[in-house]
Amino acid sequence: MKRGARKALAGVAMASALAGVNLGVAAPASAAIDTGGNCVDRCLYLYFNTGYSGSRFVMSYTGSGTNGIPDLAGYKFVTGGSGQGQAVKNNAASAKATFPGVGTSWVIYYNSGYAGACDAIRAYQEVEYAYKLQNTYNQNASARFLNSTPSGCYRFGS
């Protein structure tokens, strides 16, 4: 292979590798969930550290259809700060959420498949906060947007 062709091939390989790093996700999100970080409303921000610090992961519910991520395995904290590049599953310590209206919740579950103990961040104001997750502190495996709050969840913003 000629030197110029090797350089071009190496450049393509490097660009592909960097694009994969920037995406920060190994598992694809559903059509109704956006993990690209562009979030207007119905947003859940999971933080690596307590008090909304460290790296974060953003997911937003974009409409009808699948309303969550049943297994956070493969997703990573992508912004700068402590925890960047770490798995989201079983590593979130705090959360913020935005809502389009009162009566909705972001629910974070201990187990995959929306099961087990949960923390619900309920819409009370425009933005709600969970300074330190209670039932899912560093034990979070799935999350979804709901129009109600499941019974038994720890309720933030209620």
- The answer to whether 90 and 74 have CB atoms below 8 angstroms apart is no
10-34 confidence digits (pLDDT tens): 443 333 333 333 333 434 444 478 8
End-to-end CA distance of the chain: 66
DSSP helix/strand/coil, 86: coil
pLDDT recorded at residue 125? 67
Of 113, 79, 85, the C-alpha closest to 26 is 85
- The answer to whether 135 and 119 have CB atoms below 8 angstroms apart is yes
96-124 confidence digits (pLDDT tens): 988 876 778 899 999 999 999 999 998 77
Give the single-character DSSP code of 153.
S
DSSP string, 18-83: HHHHHH-BSSPPPTTEE-SS--SSSEEEEEEETTTEEEEEEEEE-SSS--EES--TTBB--SSSTT
Q: Please indicate, yes or no, whether the overall pTM of this predicted structure exceeds 0.95.
A: no
